Amino acid sequence: MSNDRGYYGEFGGAFIPEILVATFDELIRQFRKVKDDPSFWQTYSDLMSNYSCRPTPLTFAENLTRHFGGAKIYIKREDLNHTGAHKANNVMGQGLLVQRMGKTRVIAETGAGQHGVATATMAAKFGFECTIYMGEVDVKRQRPNVFWMEQMGATVIPVTDGTRILKDAINEAFRDWVTNMDNTHYVLGTACGPHPFPEMVSFFQSIIGKEARQQILELEGKLPTRVFACVGGGSNAMGLFSGFPDNSVECVGVEAAGYGLHTGQHASRLCSPDATVGVAQGYKTYFLQNDDGQMKETHSIAAGLDYIGVSPILSRMHQKGEARFESATDKEVIDAVKLTMKKEGIIPALESAHAFAGAFREAAELSSDDIIIINQSGRGDKDIFTIADAFGDPKWREFIKEKALDYK
Ligand X SMILES: Cc1ncc(COP(=O)(O)O)c(C=O)c1O
The residues annotated with a catalytic role in the active site are 87, 109, 377
Smallest gap from Cβ 229 to ligand X, in A, equals 7
| Residue 235 lies near ligand X (rule: CB under 6 A) | yes
End-to-end CA distance of the chain: 58
218 forms part of the interface with a second copy (CB under 8 A)? no
Phi, psi of 60 (to 5 degrees): -75, 120
Q: Which of 34, 295, 301, 339 binds other proteins (CB under 8 A)?
A: 295
Q: Give the shortest CB-237-to-ligand X separation in angstroms.
A: 6
Beta carbons of 188 and 281 less than 8 angstroms apart: no
Residue 279 binds which one of ligand X, other proteins, a second copy, none, with CB within 5 to 8 A depending on kind?
other proteins
Output the smallest distance, CB 363 to a second copy, in A.
Answer: 18
Could you say whether residue 230 binds ligand X (CB under 6 A)?
yes
Chain-centre distance for alpha carbon 76: 14
Residue in 58, 75, 85, 120 binding ligand X, rule: CB under 6 A: 85
| Residue 217 site contact among other proteins, a second copy, ligand X, none (CB < 5 to 8 Å, cut-off depends on kind) | none
For residues 251 and 72, what is the distance between their CA atoms, to the nearest angstrom?
A: 16
Residues 349-408 contacting a second copy, CB under 8 A: 381-382, 384-385, 387-388, 391, 393, 395-397, 399-405, 407
Interface positions, 160-189, toward other proteins (CB under 8 A): 161-162, 167, 171, 174-175, 178-182
Closest contact distance (angstroms) between CB of 163 and other proteins is 8
Residue-level length of the chain = 408
Cβ pair 192, 169 in contact under 8 A: no
Q: Which is nearer to ligand X, 181 or 306 (CB)?
A: 306
13 binds, among ligand X, other proteins, a second copy, none (CB under 5 to 8 A by kind): other proteins
Query: Any idea of the CA torsion for 344, 345, 347, 352, to the nearest 10 degrees?
Result: -20
Q: Which of 3, 147, 155, 293 binds other proteins (CB under 8 A)?
A: 293
Closest of 202, 194, 153 to residue 173, by C-alpha:
194
C-alpha 7/C-alpha 118 separation (Å) is 28
Q: Is 93 in the site for ligand X (CB under 6 A)?
A: no
Of the ranges 37-45, 144-152, 290-298, 324-332, which one interacts with a second copy (CB under 8 A)?
Answer: 144-152
Residue list 55-114, contact with a second copy (CB under 8 A): 56-60, 63, 77, 80, 82-84
- Applying CB under 8 A, the span of 17-25, 147-155, 162-170, 185-193 interacting with a second copy comes to 147-155
Q: Parallel, antiparallel, or unpaired: how do β-strands 324-329 and 184-186 relate?
A: unpaired
List the interface residues with other proteins, window 20-49 (CB under 8 A). 20-23
Piece in contact with a second copy (CB under 8 A), picked from 180-188, 227-235, 344-352, 354-362: 344-352
Task: Give the span between the Cα atoms of 253 and 375, in whole angstroms.
Answer: 10
Q: Cis before residue 245, ω within 30 degrees of 0?
A: no
Residue from 20, 98, 120, 200 in contact with a second copy (CB under 8 A): 120
Where in 151-210 is the site for a second copy (CB under 8 A)? 151-153
**Alpha carbons 225 and 365: distance in angstroms, whole number:** 12
Binding site for other proteins (CB under 8 A): 5, 13-23, 161-162, 167, 171, 174-175, 178-182, 276-282, 284, 287, 289, 291-295
- List of residues contacting a second copy (CB under 8 A): 49-53, 56-60, 63, 77, 80, 82-84, 120-125, 127, 140, 143-144, 146-148, 150-153, 338, 341-347, 381-382, 384-385, 387-388, 391, 393, 395-397, 399-405, 407
